[in-house]
Amino acid sequence: MKNKYGIGFFAFTIIAVLVITCAYQFSYYRAKDKALEVRLKEQEEEKRAEERLTEKKKEEAVAAEGEALKEDCYYLMEVNGYIVVYLSDKKTPYEYTDILYDELPDGIREEIRNGKYIEDTETLYGFLENYSS
């Protein structure tokens, strides 16, 4: 009789271990699949973002047939004690500088107060290079 209970207990233990092992494997692979899905979604989002960026760059890089257009002009203006470069509309900032307004010569300060006009990028960067620290 003791042998019957011993064999039954042994069989029950083996079945319990198998059930626990199967449940663990099931949960492990399910979590692994979820992680893979998340990773694939992230990769898809990155690809979409890259495609949008590429499309945006293509839109910006429109080739003009015929004569080339003149580049935008720039305006230097004082904002909070520093010189800021604006595009031709005088509203869109092009570049923020570390050049202090008060450290400039009086003549240049007067021009900047009224919005100093600069025709091209070479002249702009030449000015910025001369007056930056």
Residue 130 has pLDDT above 70, yes or no: yes
Whether 18 is in a domain gets the answer yes
Asked if 114 and 58 sit in the same domain, the reply is: no
Could you give the percent of the chain with pLDDT greater than 70? 86
Whether 69 is in a domain gets the answer no
**Domain with 91 in it:** 74-131
DSSP, collapsed to helix, strand or coil, labels residue 110 as helix
Q: How far apart are CA 74 and CA 71, in angstroms?
A: 10
Eight-class DSSP state of 133: -
Asked if 2 and 52 sit in the same domain, the reply is: yes
Whether 88 is in a domain gets the answer yes
Q: What is the DSSP string of 46-82?
A: HHHHHHHHHHHHHHHTPPPPSSPPPPPPEEEEEETTE
Domain boundary among 13, 36, 62: 62
Query: What stretches of 1-133 show up as alpha helix (H) in DSSP?
Result: 2-60, 106-113, 121-131
Q: Provide mean pLDDT across the span 11-27.
A: 92
When divided into structural domains, the chain yields a total of 2
Convert the pLDDT of each residue in 46-77 to its tens digit: 889 888 888 877 665 544 443 434 557 899 99
Convert the pLDDT of each residue in 71-120 to its tens digit: 578 999 998 988 999 988 888 888 888 888 888 888 888 988 888 898 88
Domain boundary among 11, 31, 62: 62
pTM over 0.85: no
Q: How far apart are CA 29 and CA 60, in angstroms?
A: 46
Asked if 2 and 57 sit in the same domain, the reply is: yes
